Every structure is written in C-alpha cells, then in structure tokens.
C-alpha cells in the first residue's frame, strides 16, 4: 500500500513538471494556460486602414475550454518584431476579436489580434499575458485543474517557416 502511495506521488510530480516545462516552450503552436488550450493558427500581413508607412499584422488564435467549468479570460498581447520593436494590440478593434467569455467545457472559439506595425519589420514572437488573476466567470477562484496548469504567459514563435506571414 505504501509503495502505491509513493508511486502516485512520484507520478504527480512528473506530470506537474511536464506541464510546467511545456508552458514556456514558444515553439509549440498549441499551449495550455489554466483550463484553456490556445492554438496559434497563423499570422497575416494586411494593408493598413489609415497609415502609409505602417501595415497591419493579424495574429489568429483558437481557444478550447478543456476544463469542467465555464471560462472567461482576457489577455494583454504583445507582438515582438525585428529591430527590437514591440507592439500592443488594442489601439484599434479587430473585425474578429479574440474573446473568451462564458466558454463552456469542450467549446472552442476563434479570433485575432491586430497590430499596426512599421513597414520593413518582421514579426518574431507573439506573447499573451492574462489580464485577470482568474479564469472564473463569476469572480471566484479557479478550478484545481486551472491552478495546476497556470502559467504567467504564453509565447508563440512567429519566425518559424511553418507560419504564414
């Protein structure tokens, strides 16, 4: 009996260590944060609406609720580019914004962040940081699963050849 308890404890440590090591791997196109898996669908250059020396970069994402409770989440997003320039979404609204509101277990949603970037720079990395301390829709505490898989941020590599630009 004691050996079984020791084995289960060791297994939990291994699972926790694996989930924590996956959280910071920005080469992955799908990452977990709390009860959400976020998948980078790609990035796309678009013509700017109002500027002559800037263009729009749209970063498309899919979120899936892998937990057992409804999820509400907001993120701050940053696009890091060549020449050490950084851009933050939110200066103008996207036509298909990335929003996670009352996402039920098993449900998915898609959307995008748009960035107005200087012509001549290339996207390198896209970062998401939760803007609230919980994914609970009612202001309560997160589920045990969400706490187990919590991470301070997600980083996606946009410089990979497999991503469309």
Q: What is the CATH number of the domain that holds 40?
A: 2.60.40
For 12, the enclosing helix (H) or strand (E) is helix 2-23
Report how many domains make up the chain: 1
Three-state SS string over 100-156 comes to EEEECCCCEEEEEEEEEEECCCCEEEEEEEECCCCCCCCCCCCCHHHHHCCCCCEEE
Domain membership of residue 153 as a residue range: 2-157
5-39 pLDDT tens trace: 544 444 444 344 444 444 445 468 999 999 999 99
What pLDDT does 20 receive? 43
Tell me how far apart the alpha carbons of residues 136 and 145 are, in angstroms, rounded to a whole number: 12
Confirm whether 163 is domain-assigned.
no
88 - beta bridge partners?
A: 78
91-101 pLDDT tens trace: 666 788 999 99
Confirm whether 109 is domain-assigned.
yes
For 31, the enclosing helix (H) or strand (E) is strand 30-33
136-156 pLDDT tens trace: 998 788 887 778 788 899 999
């Amino acid at each position: 009996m004691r050996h079984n308890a020791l084995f289960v404890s060791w297994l939990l440590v291994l699972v926790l260590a694996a989930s924590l090591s996956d959280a910071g791997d920005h080469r992955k196109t799908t990452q977990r944060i709390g009860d959400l898996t976020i998948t980078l669908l790609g990035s796309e250059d678009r013509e700017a609406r109002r500027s002559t020396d800037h263009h729009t970069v749209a970063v498309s994402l899919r979120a899936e609720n892998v937990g057992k409770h409804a999820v509400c989440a907001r993120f701050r997003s940053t696009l890091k580019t060549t020449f050490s320039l950084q851009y933050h979404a939110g200066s103008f609204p996207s036509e298909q914004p990335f929003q996670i509101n009352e996402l039920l277990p098993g449900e998915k949603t898609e959307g995008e962040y748009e960035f107005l970037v200087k012509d001549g720079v290339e996207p390198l990395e896209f970062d998401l940081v939760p803007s609230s301390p919980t994914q609970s829709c009612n202001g309560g505490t997160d589920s045990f699963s969400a706490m187990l898989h919590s991470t301070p941020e997600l980083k996606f590599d946009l410089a990979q050849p497999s991503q469309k630009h």
